[in-house]
Structures are given as structure tokens and as C-alpha cells.
Structure 1
Amino acid sequence: MEDNSKPPTLYLMSTGDKESMMNSILAQMNLVREFDAHANQYRALRNASVVLAGDRLNFDNKLKQALKENGDLKAIDWNLEAEGNASQHDVETMEETIHFMSKRMDLQDETINDLQYQLAAQKLKENKLIEDNLQLNENLKTSVAQNATLQEEVIALRKNDMTRVLLEKFRS
């Protein structure tokens, strides 16, 4: 039996066998190159898969972060809305307070005007009373003077009456 495990030596081979062997080697080398190309494609795909897995993990983390931020923003929005509503309520309350204060000030102005009119009327009455009092004082002075004159006349008349009575007594 022949030992086929050893490759035949090239210098013992015929040209056709050499060409056939070379073609076979080239075909095998082409297969090896094709296998290497597929292996390289596989490695590239595997690397791309690792990158994509990393990208997906990053995307998932970013998504989780975005969802958390979205929740935080919703909470902030809700708080701002609540604060806005509270501020609006405060503004409305202040507007009502200002409205009532304005009405109260109007009423106070009316009261002040009424009191000023009453004070002016009181001053007029006081001035009238002062004038009346001065007139009464004048009248009193006149009455006192008239009374003094009348008393003098009465005294004079009494003197005349007494004189007449005395004269009549002396005549009688």
C-alpha cells in the first residue's frame, strides 16, 4: 500500500498534475480567503453588535433618565401650576380687598364731607349765636340805659308826687 498521507513531491509530478495541484491549492486558498473574509465580516458584525448593545444600553439609560426628568418636570409643572393658581387666588383676593378698601375710602370721604358740612353749619350757627349774643348784649345795654332813665323818671315822678302831696297837704 501506498502512503497517501505524504504529499507528492512537486518535481516528481507531471506538469498537468502540478497545474491541477496548483489549481487545487489556489481553490483552497480562495476558500481560506473567503473564510477569512467571512470571519472578518463576522468579527465586524460582532463588534458592531457589541457597539449596538452598548448604544442600546446607553439609549436605555438615557430613556430612563429622560423619563425621570419628564416625571420631575411634570412634578415641577404641577407645582408651578399650583403656585400659579395660588398666586391668581392671591391676586383676586387683593383685588377684592382693594375694591372694598376703595369703597371704604369713598364712604370715609363721604363721611368726612358730611362732617365738614356739619362743622361749617355748626360754625354758622355759632357765628349766628355770637351775633345774636352781641345783639342781646347791645339790647341789654340799651335796656339797662332805658331802665336807668326810667328809674330816674320814676324817681323824678315820685319826687313830683311827693312834692305835690306835700303841697296839697300844705294847702289843705
Structure 2
Amino acid sequence: MNNTPALFEIVENPNADATAPWFEADFFDEVDGNEAIYENAANEMGLDPDLLKAIGYMETTHGYYDRLHPKNTSFRPMNIRVDTWGKLAEELGYQPSDIETDITANVRTGALLVTRIWARTQSPSVSKVANIYNFLGHEEVSDYGARVDAIYKNKLWKN
């Protein structure tokens, strides 16, 4: 959070399942139609735009629960938790509440978080960084990271 030194040690997991779960809903994809926002944020942060889009796709097609539970504290498209990551939004010149209402603020905050995770991950890969994005404490790639890697490789936001 404070851009302090850290190292995420996470290993690949050949048993992680990259198949789409039953609840993945392409209907909720918020990357398609907003690709320029993802590309601009990724380029600004020195990230691979497709990595950011893959995480955004995963979060919007799996994390649409804020539409079902309005009291949620994690907001699409990057499912940024205001209470946890609001300070990152402030570093970018936003108010933490902008994460909920401004797609550019949300994606840029997510991009900053992904950039910092990438820089602190031992031998970073799409699956490892995505897994840390999902939960900072992961020590092994789970189905989440494997699925983001499959989304990345297949560019599912374009389908």
C-alpha cells in the first residue's frame, strides 16, 4: 500500500483449474467497450494492457455480486475495495469514493495495484500476479490465477 519493499513468493501450480466455472457470466464483461481505458491505464503504469484487461474481465464476469448486494465494498470493474485501496486512488488524485463511480479511477487504481504486485513478485507471470491481486497471501497459484491466465491467452473480452 505504501509502496514499501516486499517480495511475494508464489509458485505455479500445475493442478490449478483454468476452466470457466458455472457462474462466469460473459454478459457482465465490462472490458469490452472500455478497452481504451484499460490500455491508457496500463500504458501509463508500464503494464501489459492485456494483463489488466484479463484481470478486469475476470473481476467483472465473476465479481458481479455488487449488483446483487448493493452494500458491497468492492467495486467493479476491477473489484477495488475502497476501505483497503482508497489510498492508492488518492495517490492518483482521486477521492476513494471515485472508485465506486468513475470507471477510469477504478481501472487506474487497479493498474497501480497490479504494477506494484508485478514489481514485487518473484519471477512474475500472469497467473502469479493475478493470484496475488485476488489475495495478497497466496503462496501457490490457485484456480483464480489459472483462469486469468487462460482469459489472457484467449483474450475473452473480445469474444
Fold agreement, TM-score > 0.5: no
TM-score of the aligned structures, taking structure 1 as reference length: 0.13
Larger Rg belongs to: 1
TM-score (norm 2): 0.14
- The structure with the greater share of residues assigned to helix is 1
